[in-house]
């Protein structure tokens, strides 16, 4: 008993010395909880196959910042979900724990990085797993293992970063995917409003993987079914390297991006442009040049409780009968997720990516939507009405087409269809909101190569609290 008492006293003494150290670190926390009901039909574009889905899912994100001072902090972000109610899967890993009993190992680490100011310099460094979004998701938007330096000079901010996108074998660089970027941002008062501008240079060294060549660009997807199953990142020589895929000797993708924005009391407008550069060299000789590009523009007009918007974007595509090696479709580095409309663009319900389907209802990637839009263009118009302090109604219209013709059942086509999205956002209590969603796509022949092209619909709801 005396021995245990002495151990307790020693522990209390140690804690008393450590308390000033603990007190020097401030804990800031927050998070987001959401639960969604989602039902949809005909995502594959035809009634010939039953693809109706109806489910509820939920997600919890927790943010913890440990702040030593204005010069040093540690940022962490954890996620539980997306968990489909009643779906237990294998009782381990992300998205599990939805079945009876609910216990599962399903916590993901989204962010874990240290951010600190470098003494006697204008530089701030962020080192670790962190979220990075460049050009409003048109270049990258994800969580990365990265090291980033930032500096601010009056109205100019400069950011430079290194991203380790893939390194599955530390003894061999063949499978490495390493990226480097430089971003220069400007924000300043010009006339009655504020002008913003961004210039970005991004370089991805894919070594001898085929990252970015497939599937978003359309390269080797239209004419080679062997590479239609996804974004293969395995190096040449790997037993998982896809049969029929080009054997890459080097893969260098460059992106040059420009964004301009202007905002006044009654209006906000923007335009963005990204150009793919670089090339892929093949082991058996020859090369393919990255030639894709995109442009995105829009404007919002504010009129009391009403907001009106106009806009659209264009992403280049691959010609069906193009016998050159050039990658004309707009390609993406690893990795991004771009949202826009509700059905084609993910929207609030964002559970499924949308792309052209073949006669069997399988994605053949002649065009892609939500996540990495390519060979896709759209024009949109919409409005929202803040009817009450906590009640907002929104509606938008989208027309979608393909930049280059795609295969349809009776030949080729370039019209995907007309989409209408409706939203009701209702504040409930203390920041808790409920969104009711309804979306309908009047599908045209370019949506799918199936003989019968049928319309697509989604309805659902999202309950969300940011705290």
Residue range 380-392, pLDDT digits in tens: 999 999 999 999 9
Q: Note the pLDDT of residue 163.
A: 98
Q: Note the pLDDT of residue 169.
A: 85
Question: Which one is predicted more confidently, 52 or 201?
Answer: 201
Task: Give the model confidence (pLDDT) of 109-121 as tens digits.
Answer: 999 999 999 999 9
Residue 443: pLDDT over 80: yes
Record the tokens describing residue 329, joined without a space: 């479709």
Record the tokens describing residue 297, joined without a space: 């523009």
- Quote the DSSP letter at residue 234: P
Record the tokens describing residue 308, joined without a space: 């009106």
Q: Report percent pLDDT > 90 for the chain.
A: 66
Q: Which residue has the tokens 């670790």?
A: 128
* Whole-number Cα distances in Å, 234 to 86, 169, 226, 230, 329: 34, 11, 14, 11, 22
pLDDT confidence bin for 245, thresholds 50/70/90 = low
Mean pLDDT of 97-125: 88
Q: What radius of gyration, in Å, describes the C-alpha atoms of the chain?
A: 25
* Whole-number Cα distances in Å, 52 to 87, 276, 368: 17, 38, 21
The Cα–Cα gap between 292 and 403 comes to 11
The Cα–Cα gap between 287 and 351 comes to 36
Q: Note the pLDDT of residue 456.
A: 94
Q: Which residue has the tokens 């090369």?
A: 287
Q: Note the pLDDT of residue 221.
A: 34
pLDDT confidence bin for 227, thresholds 50/70/90 = very low
The Cα–Cα gap between 95 and 85 comes to 10
Determine contact, residues 372/355, Cβ cutoff 8 Å: no
Question: Which one is predicted more confidently, 226 or 156?
Answer: 156
Residue 459: pLDDT over 70: yes
- Statement: the pTM of the whole predicted model exceeds 0.85: yes
Strand ranges, E, within 283-325: 287-289, 293-303, 306-315
pLDDT confidence bin for 214, thresholds 50/70/90 = low
Residue 218: pLDDT over 50: no
Determine contact, residues 291/278, Cβ cutoff 8 Å: no
Question: Which one is predicted more confidently, 74 or 243?
Answer: 74
Residue 198: pLDDT over 50: yes
HSE at residue 142, side-chain half, CA atoms within 13 A, is 17
């Amino acid at each position: 008993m005396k021995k245990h008492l002495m151990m307790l006293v020693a522990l209390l003494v140690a804690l008393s010395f450590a308390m000033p150290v603990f007190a020097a670190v401030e804990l800031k926390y927050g998070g987001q909880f959401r639960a969604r009901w989602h039902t949809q039909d005909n995502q594959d574009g035809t009634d010939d196959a039953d693809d109706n889905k109806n489910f509820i899912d939920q997600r919890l994100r927790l943010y913890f910042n440990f702040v030593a001072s204005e010069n040093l902090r540690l940022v962490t972000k954890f996620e539980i979900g997306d968990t489909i109610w009643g779906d237990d899967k294998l009782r381990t890993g992300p998205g599990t724990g939805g079945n009876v009993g609910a216990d599962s190992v399903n916590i993901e680490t989204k962010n874990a990085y240290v951010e600190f100011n470098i003494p006697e310099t204008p530089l701030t460094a962020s080192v670790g797993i962190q979220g990075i979004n460049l050009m409003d998701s048109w270049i990258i938007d994800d969580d990365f293992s990265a090291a980033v330096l930032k500096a601010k000079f009056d109205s100019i901010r400069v950011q430079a970063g290194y991203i380790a996108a893939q390194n599955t074998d530390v003894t061999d660089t063949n499978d490495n995917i390493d990226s480097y970027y430089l971003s220069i941002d400007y924000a300043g008062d010009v006339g009655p409003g504020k002008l913003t501008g961004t210039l970005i240079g991004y370089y991805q060294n894919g070594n001898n993987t085929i990252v970015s060549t497939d599937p978003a660009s359309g390269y080797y997807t239209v004419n080679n079914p062997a590479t239609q199953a996804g974004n293969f990142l395995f190096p040449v020589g790997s037993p998982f390297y896809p049969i029929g895929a080009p054997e890459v000797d080097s893969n260098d993708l460059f992106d040059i991006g420009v964004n301009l924005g202007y905002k006044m009391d009654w209006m906000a407008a923007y335009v963005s442009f990204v150009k793919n550069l670089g090339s892929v060299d093949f082991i058996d000789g020859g090369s393919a040049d990255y030639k894709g590009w995109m442009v995105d523009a829009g404007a919002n007009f504010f009129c009391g409780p009403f907001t009106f918007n106009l806009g659209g974007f264009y992403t280049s595509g691959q010609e069906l009968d193009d016998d050159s090696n050039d990658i004309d479709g707009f390609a993406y580095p690893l990795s991004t997720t771009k949202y826009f409309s509700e059905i084609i663009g993910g929207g609030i319900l964002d559970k499924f990516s949308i792309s052209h389907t073949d006669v069997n209802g399988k994605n053949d990637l002649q065009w892609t939507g939500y996540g990495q839009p390519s060979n896709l263009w759209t024009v949109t118009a919409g409005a929202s009405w803040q009817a009450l302090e906590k009640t907002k109604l929104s509606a938008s219209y989208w027309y979608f087409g393909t930049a280059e013709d795609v295969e349809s059942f009776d030949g080729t086509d370039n019209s995907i269809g007309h989409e209408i999205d409706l939203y009701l956002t209702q504040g409930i209590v203390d920041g808790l909101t409920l969104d009711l969603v309804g979306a309908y796509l009047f599908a045209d022949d370019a949506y799918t190569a199936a003989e019968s092209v049928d319309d697509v619909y989604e309805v659902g709801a999202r309950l969300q609290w940011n705290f």
